[in-house]
Amino acid sequence: MASTPRQWTEQETEQFVVLMEKLVIEGKRVDAGQFKPGAFQKLADKMNEKFPGCGLTVKHIRNKHKRLKEKYMYVAEMLGCSGFGWNSQKMCVEVDSKQVLEAWENGRNVTLYTPGKPFPLFERLGNIFGKDRATGLEACSGKDAEEDVTPGSTFAAATAGGLGLDGEDVDMEDLAAAESELPNTYSTSFASSSERNQRRQSATKISKDAAILSNLAETFKAAVQDQGKHVQILANAMSGVNEQVNLGRTLRSLGFDTMEIVQITKKFVQNPKLKATFWSLDEEKAAFARDIMDNF
């Protein structure tokens, strides 16, 4: 007589993943997403501390670890194929069409996940099983790793119904998923190709628009800087002309005749510092100009 499956609650599954994440941080994970010897016993102890009376054994822990790994690998391989994509907002896989999904399932006698159904643990499980993506569902190796207890291939492949629900224990969410999948495998909604392409095109358009605006901003900035240089050059030129005109008028107003103005101007040309000093003075301009004529 078959034993009654042990049903995991969502709270228990969440805590189990939290504990596995801690083991990864502590360096207790080895190749193929397995843990070092003694890790499963530690997980069982921690789970029983967190949920007194839950009765979880090492065998339950191993089976749970294996099923989560298989489900993660199933979804990871699905996302590696054309026509599938991850919706980070809905936390689920989206597929372009029913035909794409049928092609994917062709030859597979097990359905561990159906696109459209939320799988919020997927990204977190990637930190635990992520390195196994290239090795497929059968990956479970390493001499120092804890061994799986379920013989044969995968846990779900060993079941007669192909839904991964036969065995020592099972998730409540898996039971609900099985009930919804039995009447119609394709009961979930599909993301149309046009919708997926529209999202890609929208993202591409935003990127292109941002690049265009950035280029326009740089062009405008360069134009302003270039224009500023021309304005400054023009201002300097005008300042020079005005200064020369003002110099003659100023010296004449100070009582210098034409020859004296020419002489002082030559001195200023030879020594620009004298000119700068001259313009910095006020009532002393006349005395300074005559000193220039006599001593320079």
- Residue 164 burial (CB < 10 Å; 0-12/13-18/19+)? buried
Ranges in the chain, pLDDT < 50: 132-167, 179-189, 200, 202-204, 206-207, 237-239, 241
Tell whether 154 is covered by a domain: no
What are the structure tokens assigned to 180, written together?
């919804």
Q: Coil, helix or strand for 114?
A: coil
The reply to whether 115 and 224 lie within a common domain is: no
Cα separation of 95 and 82, whole Å?
Answer: 9
Tell whether 161 is covered by a domain: no
Q: Which residue blocks in the chain are alpha helix, DSSP H?
A: 10-25, 39-50, 58-79, 98-105, 122-129, 172-181, 193-253, 258-270, 272-280, 285-295
65: nearest Cα among 133, 9, 117, 16: 16
> What is the predicted pLDDT for the residue at 278?
84
Give residue for tokens 């079941």: 159
Percent of the chain at pLDDT exceeding 70: 59
pTM: 0.52
The reply to whether 119 and 15 lie within a common domain is: yes
- What's the full length of the chain, in residues? 296
Give the total number of structural domains in the chain.
Answer: 2
Tell whether 98 is covered by a domain: yes
Cα separation of 181 and 296, whole Å?
Answer: 106
* Paired residues of 35 in beta bridges: 29
Tell whether 144 is covered by a domain: no
Write down which residue in 84, 108, 130 finishes a domain.
130
Tell whether 231 is covered by a domain: yes
> What is the predicted pLDDT for the residue at 182?
41
* Paired residues of 8 in beta bridges: 171
Tell whether 241 is covered by a domain: yes
> What is the predicted pLDDT for the residue at 67?
93
Tell whether 249 is covered by a domain: yes
The reply to whether 14 and 125 lie within a common domain is: yes
Q: Name residues whose C-beta falls within 8 Å of residue 87's C-beta, 6 or more positions apart in sequence.
A: 93, 94, 191
Tell whether 193 is covered by a domain: no
Phi-psi domain of 139 (left: phi exceeds 0; alpha: psi -120 through 50; beta: other): beta
Domain coverage including residue 112: 10-130
> What is the predicted pLDDT for the residue at 282?
81
Cα separation of 265 and 267, whole Å?
Answer: 5
Half-sphere exposure of 228 (CA within 13 A, CB side): 6
The reply to whether 125 and 220 lie within a common domain is: no
